[in-house]
């Protein structure tokens, strides 16, 4: 059974000029112990999807349609006090900038202990021991001394480890990690990614890893969802999506990655830019930038359909399926 199910999720922002639809019919699921990568350009809807899951949409943003289910129970329509009990206890969050997750006025120990005692039936002494163990598990040396230090006394990489410890404090089943390595240098990135994978394996937690870095996706994830203009363009096993992309947008993203075996002066790029929310084109949102568009792409919007080992929202696969059926007939 899936741990998390997103069904036809719609997120809207009412404005004076009308309602903007930021997420449009997004659907996917995550199994226990699985790492699902969510990738796409800035503005694709990755972080917004994560915020909707953990119940932290910025007003006036709202879930206007669809459902979010955690272990079969709907959580998108819970009152704020009920959602607070789930956030931290059953869903942990890791954000891009650790300083946004840590209170500079409190020691990291105090923040960890408060989170643990809020969600788990432990005394403060037991919670302190658990906090020290979490800091040690996440690779912070001399955890017994460092537990009483303040966020500013840690380096960027160490602060991110503290945030991971905080996300794990109440043993959540799901971790939403939003660009957890973006602010870190490459060597620290590798350590944080390795840490996330280890945690996933040891604790059986599922991870939704939001990033724009395909290298991180390739290194870490079991499956990947590629988002474009508030929709899922392609989803499938990570090696298939990377090596045999079925959507022209995914293929464009892959072509942008430098290939060390090829000698070239310029990197490939996808022409054009992501459309604004108030100017999403008719049909497939990617059609103005797509080198393979057909007439239908400018008229009808494709849903996810079978595309070999993955699922892609692209009419090319409907055409291919039709020609196969025609050929068989």
Q: How far apart are CA 151 and CA 98, in angstroms?
A: 9
pLDDT the model gives residue 321 = 60
Residue 327 has pLDDT above 60, yes or no: no
Q: How confident is the model at residue 266 (pLDDT cuts 50, 70, 90)?
A: confident
Least confident piece of the model among 88-92, 132-136, 213-217: 213-217
SS3 309: coil
pLDDT the model gives residue 329 = 40
Q: Is residue 162 part of a domain?
A: no
Q: How confident is the model at residue 239 (pLDDT cuts 50, 70, 90)?
A: very high
Question: Nearest CA to 179 among 40, 12, 21?
Answer: 40
Q: Is residue 107 part of a domain?
A: no
Q: Is residue 80 part of a domain?
A: yes
Q: Using one digit for the tens of pLDDT, what is the confidence trace for 50-72?
A: 999 999 998 999 999 999 999 99
pLDDT the model gives residue 320 = 67
**Angle, helix 108-119 to helix 124-137, in steps of 10 degrees:** 120
Which comes out higher in pLDDT, residue 259 or 204?
204
Q: Is residue 257 part of a domain?
A: yes
Residue 328 has pLDDT above 50, yes or no: no
**Cis? peptide before 60, omega within 30° of 0:** yes
Q: Is residue 50 part of a domain?
A: yes
Q: How confident is the model at residue 256 (pLDDT cuts 50, 70, 90)?
A: confident
CATH number at residue 79: 3.40.50.300
Q: Is residue 135 part of a domain?
A: no
Find how far residue 47's CA is from the centre of its chain.
7
Compute and round to an integer the Cα radius of gyration of the chain: 21
pLDDT the model gives residue 322 = 65
pLDDT the model gives residue 144 = 96
Which comes out higher in pLDDT, residue 242 or 265?
242
* pTM of full prediction above 0.75: yes
Q: Is residue 156 part of a domain?
A: no
Find how far residue 234's CA is from the centre of its chain.
14
Q: Is residue 188 part of a domain?
A: yes
Q: What is the mean pLDDT of residues 166-186?
A: 88
Q: Distance from first CA to last CA of the chain, Å, rounded?
A: 38
Q: How far apart are CA 55 and CA 75, in angstroms?
A: 8
Q: Using one digit for the tens of pLDDT, what is the confidence trace for 93-113?
A: 998 888 888 999 999 999 999
Residues of the domain holding 11 = 4-90+172-328
Q: Six-digit token pair at 58?
A: 């910025």
Residue 262 has pLDDT above 80, yes or no: no
Number of domains in the chain: 1
Q: Six-digit token pair at 60?
A: 């006036």
């Amino acid at each position: 059974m899936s741990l998390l199910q997103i069904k036809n999720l719609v997120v809207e922002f009412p404005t004076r000029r009308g309602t903007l639809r930021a997420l449009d019919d997004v659907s996917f699921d995550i199994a226990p112990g699985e790492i699902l990568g969510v990738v796409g350009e800035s503005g694709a809807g990755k972080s917004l999807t994560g915020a909707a899951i953990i119940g932290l949409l910025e007003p006036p943003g709202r879930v206007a349609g669809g459902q979010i289910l955690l272990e079969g129970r709907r959580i998108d329509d819970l009152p704020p006090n009920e959602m607070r009990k789930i956030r931290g206890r059953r869903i942990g969050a890791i954000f891009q900038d650790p300083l946004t997750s840590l209170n500079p006025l409190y020691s990291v120990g105090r923040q960890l202990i408060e989170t643990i005692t809020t969600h788990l039936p432990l005394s403060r002494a037991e919670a302190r021991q658990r906090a020290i163990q979490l800091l040690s598990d996440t690779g912070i040396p001399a955890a017994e001394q460092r537990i009483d230090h303040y966020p500013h006394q840690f380096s960027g990489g160490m602060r991110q480890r503290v945030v991971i410890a905080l996300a794990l404090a109440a043993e959540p089943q799901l971790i939403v990690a939003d660009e957890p390595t973006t602010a870190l240098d490459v060597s620290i990135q590798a350590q944080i990614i390795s840490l996330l994978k280890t945690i996933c394996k040891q604790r059986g937690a599922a991870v939704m890893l939001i990033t724009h870095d395909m290298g991180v996706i390739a290194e870490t994830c079991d499956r990947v969802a590629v988002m474009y203009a508030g929709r899922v363009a392609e989803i499938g096993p990570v090696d298939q999506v990377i090596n045999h992309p079925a959507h022209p947008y995914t293929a464009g993203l892959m072509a942008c990655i430098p290939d060390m075996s090829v000698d070239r002066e310029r990197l490939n790029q996808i022409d054009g830019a992501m459309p604004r929310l108030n100017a999403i084109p008719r049909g497939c949102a990617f059609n103005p930038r797509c080198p393979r568009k057909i007439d239908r792409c400018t008229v009808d919007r494709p849903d996810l359909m079978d595309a070999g080992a993955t699922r892609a929202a692209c009419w090319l696969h409907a055409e291919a399926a039709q020609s196969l059926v025609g050929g068989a007939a």
